[in-house]
Structure 1
Amino acid sequence: MKTVLITGANKGIGFETAKQLLQKEFYVFLASRDLKKGKKAVEKLKLEGLTHVEVVQLDVTDENSVKTAREEIGKKITSLDVLINNAGVNGGSPYTALKSSSDQFMLAFNTNVFGVARVTQAFMDLLRKSPEPRIVNVSTSVGSLSLQSNPSWPAYDFAKYAVYGSSKAALNMYTIHLAYELRDTDFKVNAVCPGYTSTDFTFQNGGKVEIAGNRIVKYALIDKDGPTGTFFSEETNPETSEIPW
């Protein structure tokens, strides 16, 4: 049975992704910063007959929490097949470059960038022991420098979130470097935009969470001939899904 660790998986897109991978017979480590919320999420999945799941307390902004989660999971498995770096924050309002505080930037980068690096590095040894390791970094088209600077982009005038966009652009760069460093291995590392989705993150605005989850799952399941070091957004580019950095 393949294994997957999903950060920030107690709700929203992370929870839906966990559900879909359970349906595909994965064993899911559902990571949640709040252990109580994580336990409730696991209970909900088990009520649906999805039993190969357990919660792990993991705060991506806390080095000790990440280390403890790695030790805990390492006692139960010898390899990890998929890592989905889903945990993220938008940094809060105000969203503009001139009014956002340094604390907002620090919060967003600590979760969306530093947190991804912490978790990825902590679990790299387990991932290397998988025959087909996959890493999916949950990004957003809002983090594309090319789109953000293109007046023809449909979202040009309203997808302007300086803190969130900056942190996701940095995440995209991390993804590029990670994929490059693992280019001669069996790893596949990609950045995936799930699209504008109705969750707490978007104040319940957007599309169906099932569609978003499916977009992430697709790249967790890619075969040996699949892409690596690529940025995908089906919402932005329905034809090929690939979008510019």
Structure 2
Amino acid sequence: MEGAISSSPSTRVAVVTGGNKGIGLEVCRQLAGNGVTVVLTARDETRGAAAVKKLRELGLSNVIFHQLDITDASSIARLADFVKTRFGRLDILVNNAAFGGVEYARDPAYASVTSDEELRGMDRDQRLEWLWRNSRETYDAAKKGLQTNYYGTKHVIEAFLPLLHASSDGRIVNVSSDFGLLRFFRNEELKQELNDVGNLTEERLDELLDMFLNDFEAGKVDARGWPAAFTAYKVAKAAMNAYSRILAARQPAPRVNCVHPGYIKTDMTAHSGLLTPEEGGRRVVEVALLPEGGVTGAFFEDGEEASFV
């Protein structure tokens, strides 16, 4: 369902990964509402097309669908070729697609039906504890978490950099998390290395992620001082934050920023969050639509620049 939309040189073009539900769908809706031509992407073609149909029923005709699995190199290449052929450039890339890095004890899609009563009256910490009790960390889930949240996102960025350079004001927005902050690392050397973006390289990031997976498989997460609870998600988001800073330092354009949307009620949190997808999407869109010439290599939380640590 690629549609027949074309975009004039004055109309910004955005690609949103994981756009068929949750935060991603809200980002698509809000960007389109701001006059941006949006390429909504999803792994599943049926769900992606249904999401576009839903937005068009709201009067947003400037949204089109294209299939994308961010862990599949050929899928990424097809999307990049499509955007190049159709638009010749990309102005905004929102990397939203993600995986929780754990297995849930109950189907997240139905958790909202069963969890509302249990969660009533709980604060953030209590809800996160509930989510942790209903989760299970496995090596396969941890590996998938890194492949999706770090490598998948990185490969999408690499594929679209030429098209972002073709824009007069290209920007990349990586949907991150406060779980990716370095304060969760219990190993000071790891924390300092990930924060030293002047010397940190992509190759060293690969080595650290390999080390993490080896430690995870060997049961050495605690001994090495990696983050506790939702370990793989925290490590992957910290790595993506670091990569974003490396990329921003390497080149002034496109601008690359990270944003924590908040603790949102989505499938990935088994609907245990405190904020709605609309609220989370708004925080992402605010960063995507920052004025020209703004900051790069920054982390945004609650609408403000914040520390990566």
TM-score by length of 2: 0.70
Largest Rg, 1 or 2: 2
2-structure distance, mates of 1:43, 1:51: 9
Tell me the distance in 2 between the aligned counterparts of 1:93 and 1:174.
26
> Which segment is superposed worse, 132-141 or 172-181?
172-181
Aligned match for 2:258, one of 178, 187, 191? 191
Contact residue 142 and residue 148 of structure 1 kept, 8 A: no
Unaligned runs of 5+ in 2: 1-10, 105-131, 187-227
In the TM superposition, what is the alpha-carbon distance from 1:101 to its structure 2 partner?
3.2
| Aligned partners of 2:298 and 2:305 also within 8 Å | no
* Aligned match for 1:178, one of 236, 247, 252: 247
Kindly indicate whether residue 156 of structure 2 is the aligned counterpart of residue 119 of structure 1. yes
Task: State the AA in 2 paired with 1:128.
Answer: H
Per-residue CA deviation, residues 27-59 of structure 1 (Å, 9 max, x unaligned), is 000011111100000000000000101101000
Structure 1 residue 102: deviation in Å?
Answer: 2.8
In structure 1, what residue type is equivalent to 2:16?
Answer: I
Give yes or no for contact 2:43–2:67 (8 Å, CA) kept in 1.
yes
Residue 72 (structure 1) aligned to one of 70, 82, 87: 82
Q: Is the 8 A contact 2:17 2:94 kept in 1?
A: yes
DSSP-derived class of the 1:59 partner: coil
> Does residue 147 of structure 2 align to residue 110 of structure 1?
yes
Q: Distance in 2 between matches of 1:64 and 1:117?
A: 15
Give per-residue Cα distances to partners, 1:85-140, cap 9 Å, x unaligned. 100001123879xx833322210011101111111111111110100001000000
- The 3-state SS of whatever aligns with 2:258 is strand
Q: Which amino acid aligns with 2:262?
A: G
The answer for unaligned runs of 5 or more in structure 1 is 150-158
RMSD: 2.0
Distance of 1:50 and 1:21 partners within structure 2: 10
Q: Among residues 290, 300, 309, which one is paired with 1:222 in the alignment?
A: 290
TM-score by length of 1: 0.88
Which residue of structure 1 aligns with residue 307 of structure 2? 243
CA contact (8 A) 1:144 1:169 kept: yes
Q: Give the count of matched residue pairs.
A: 229
User: Are 1:141 and 1:147, in contact at CA under 8 Å, matched by a contact in 2?
Assistant: no
Distance 1:101 1:198 in 2: 23
Q: Structure 1 residue 231: deviation in Å?
A: 1.1
Q: Percent identity?
A: 36
Q: Does 1:57 align with 2:67?
A: yes
How far the C-alpha of 1:147 sits from its partner, in A, is 5.2
Q: Judge conservation of contact 1:142–1:160 (CA < 8 Å) in 2.
A: no
